Amino acid sequence: MVRKHLLHCLQSTVVLLSLVACSALFAREVRVGVYSNEPKIFLDSEGKLSGIFGDLLQAIAAAEDWTLKPVPCEWQACLTATQAGSIDLMPDVAFSEARAPLFEFHRVPALHSWSQIYQREGQAIESVLDLQGRRVAVLQGGVQQSFFANLVGSFGVNVQWVAVSNLSEGFSLVASGKADAVVASHQFGSLQGPRYKLVATPIMFQPSRLFFATGKGRNAELLNAIDRRLQAWQGTPGSEYFQVLARWGSEAPRTLVPKGVLWGLAGLTTLLALALGFAALLRRQVTEKTRHLRASEEKLRVILDSVDAHIYIKDTELRYQYANHKVCELFAMPQEQVVGRTDPSFFDPVTAENLRNNDLLVLQHGERVSKEETNTGIDGVTTRTFLSVKQPLRDSNGQIYALCGVSTDITELKNNREAIHQLAFYDALTQLPNRRLLLDRMQQTLSMRDRLAHDGALLYIDLDNFKTLNDTLGHDMGDQLLQQVAQRLSECTREMDTLARLGGDEFVVMLQGLSKDPSEAARQAELVAQKVVHTLAEPYQLGPLRYQNTVSLGIAMFSDPHSTQEELLKRADLAMYQAKADGRNALRFFNPEMQAQMSHRVALEEDLRVGLSEQQFLLYYQPQVDQHGNLLGAEVLLRWQHPQRGLVLPGTFIPSAESSGLILPLGRWILQAACMQLMAWSTRPGLAHLTIAVNVSARQFRQPDFVQQVFAALDASGANASRLELELTESQLVDDIEGVTAKMTALKSRGVRLSLDDFGTGYSSLNYLKRLPIDQLKIDQSFVRDLLIQAHDAAIVKTIVALGQSLHMNVIAEGVETRSQRDALEALGCLHYQGYWFGRPGPIESLEGWTFPASTPMA
């Protein structure tokens, strides 16, 4: 018989493992119940899950490879479908003993909440007693009705319940006067109250923990996955969990608990005190009322033990006279052992003394105390934070005989708020203040500068060549460098200063407490800046690698009384870029000339955008000829026909086009126009053999789809690819040699010619020359200019020619301006030329009518 049971067990296990293996092949579809309860759960305008629970579940689904299928339904219908199994997960379900037999819950709460009563503006519902005879809307099937019904019933209050299928319906009934009040979670009420012109009452109850629920005995793997993700994320500031909380209310308030909660707790304490006083009065009644007294005490005990708060009574000697279930749970002992003891039995000395001081304010001075108390257990390790409301209990003569306290555990709420605050105001990598916090502190400083007896300055710090480090060694090494830089900067600054990371490799230091004298303040700022530059230039240890790095630093002083935060940042940024332009590893102060240059650059960039949209750019062509004076083709050169400035040469605007990114649309237009011109020549026998050389910028060539752009221009025009020549510079070839090779090989496969421009001025590596499919070397004009007077230049030209011949590449010289230069080049073996001697750049008509000059140069 035992063997038979084992065999059945083994067979079942095999079947189960087979099912698991099959299911692993497919993404799990999870049906999610959705009822309208903003901001916790609802469907957005595209029918997708949204709200706190919606965003949280989408993050979990992405991590677990689930496919979420929203199932819209009303609250009670959602619960019924979840219980039946047609819904896999139901968000925003509060755990209760009544629901435990019907549903399965994960262990880690997804959200903490409480219920609250909302009323129309102008009503006077301030306590439970004010609800006598009122119509109160409540969600059908929700736990609030049964809980609140017991609560109001214990005070002898009769309420007319109005069941609604969703909270929006309840709020609408109150707004229209068809109900007097509505019960809702504080999240929904805070969001929707203003919309319906409803306000919160001080009546709050039932602090609850909210979960995702599923049918009993179903979807254990979903709940386990949710627990696993929540446990990991809730312990990690900046995780998906805290990002969701931040997205639905990330502003960290100055107090951890809303003012309404304080009044609610005060109201609860007052009602509790009245109830306890009433119970004490009952205990003095005659014997015939003993049974009623015991029944009332039991009812009160049940109510107090069901509240998710620590409720206690201490006598004038600070000894516990009553402790509800939560207090006994905190002290890990039954009520009989708690009563008669004082706080030093449960807390460390510092906590016990703090509690004693707060309690004496109540017992000796009759004050009502509402304070945040951080309590450490007697073990000295366990620490929890409570919001405590304490008030005196008085006898019939008005004498204080005890205090009643209600302490709500806000540890998790406080931790969540602190994590959200950290996420909102601090950089996750370096733990330094971020741009948002920096601007806030700058605003505070600038608003007080007229009253301060000192000046300040802004240091803008940028790491030199940080992108190269990231590209070559990886982002992990880059992150290590940023963290070490942050540590060194912290050591260079004082406690009164603010050090922030703006993002990427940019840091800012706001110096305060400098001299009021502008010259002395500048000298002090310069000393700090020099220390920063020197300290950050020291070697770094990045894992096994010893790495050297420098920074460029810009300084802007606070002396201008009209400067704003953004203006100061812009000035310091301009000064930093000037330090980079002057060779890096340097510091520069902002001056007005920089502002003028920046304004000019911004205006030029705007003109460039207008020029592109209004087609103000022209193409000029400069002839390229052989040693016999035959026209081989032309290099296409860009000109800008500006409506005010006239014809603008590329040296004026190309740097701005490069820095602004406008070089990319310009480059595409040049490429397309060149291909169209080749196609136009293909039908003219005297011009069909000509090539067009197009300069390609480094930024344009690095685009991932550059090859596709070239092919698209050729296809759109129908041009012969072998007549198109792309001119690249040596600097474009040294980064990512494998990627460069792949692009050039793809272009060559289509027949496109490749020329290496300005050869001899860059790296001139024979290694990449032999690897890359280059058709032509172009001798830089700097060697041609002094060819006849510098023997070194002649030797370089001869070497380039010999190199080209040995690698079977054409060689062309640019910048040929005289007959003597042309003849010298021919004598050295260079047989192709370009320069003023043969023709200046001009419109297409001048090229098509070109003839070889007879004698005098055109320079």
Residue 451: pLDDT above 90? no
Q: Minimum mean pLDDT among 76-80, 492-496, 600-604, 628-632: which range?
A: 600-604
Q: Minimum mean pLDDT among 403-407, 447-451, 478-482, 527-531: which range?
A: 447-451
3-state class of 164 per DSSP?
strand
Please give the average per-residue pLDDT across 675-699, as a whole number.
Answer: 94
- 352-370 pLDDT per residue, tens: 999 999 999 999 999 999 9
What confidence category does residue 391 fall into, taking pLDDT thresholds of 50, 70 and 90?
A: very high
Q: Cα separation of 765 and 734, whole Å? A: 9
| Winning range, highest mean pLDDT, from 222-236, 555-569, 585-599, 714-728 | 714-728
User: Measured over all CA atoms, what is the biggest interatomic distance in the chain, rounded to whole angstroms?
Assistant: 137
Contact 796, 783 (CB under 8 A): yes
Note the pLDDT of residue 20.
Answer: 35
Residue 752: pLDDT above 80? yes
What confidence category does residue 598 fall into, taking pLDDT thresholds of 50, 70 and 90?
A: low
- Whole-structure pTM over 0.75, yes or no? no
Please give the average per-residue pLDDT across 662-677, as a whole number.
Answer: 95
Note the pLDDT of residue 286.
Answer: 43
Contact 619, 571 (CB under 8 A): no
Q: Cα separation of 394 and 277, whole Å? A: 9
Neighbours of 378 (CB within 10 A): 16
Residue 421: pLDDT above 90? no
Under DSSP, the state recorded for 433 is B
- Residue 816: burial class (beta carbons within 10 Å; 0-12, 13-18, 19+): buried
Please give the average per-residue pLDDT across 13-37, as a whole number.
Answer: 59
- 307-348 pLDDT per residue, tens: 778 999 999 999 999 999 999 999 999 999 999 999 999 999
Q: Cα separation of 685 and 668, whole Å? A: 28
What confidence category does residue 472 fall into, taking pLDDT thresholds of 50, 70 and 90?
A: confident
Residue 120 CA, chain-centre distance (Å), reads 39
Q: List the structure tokens of 126.
A: 């301030």
Give 144 or 257, the one with higher predicted confidence: 144
Residue 292: pLDDT above 70? no
* % of the chain surpassing 70 pLDDT: 87
Under DSSP, the state recorded for 106 is -
Please give the average per-residue pLDDT across 428-436, as a whole number.
Answer: 90
Mean pLDDT over the full length of the chain: 85
- 1-17 pLDDT per residue, tens: 333 332 333 333 233 33
Tell me the HSE value of 771 on the side-chain side, using a 13 A CA sphere.
14
The count of residues in the chain is 859
Nearest one of 53, 155, 50, 154 to 94, comparing CA atoms: 53
- 87-114 pLDDT per residue, tens: 999 999 988 888 899 999 999 998 888 8
- 402-418 pLDDT per residue, tens: 999 999 998 888 887 77
| List of residues 6+ apart from 140 with CB closer than 8 A | 75, 76, 163, 164, 165
Angle between helices 650-660 and 663-681 (to 10 degrees): 120
Distance set, CA 310 to CA 331, 390, 408 (Å): 11, 12, 6
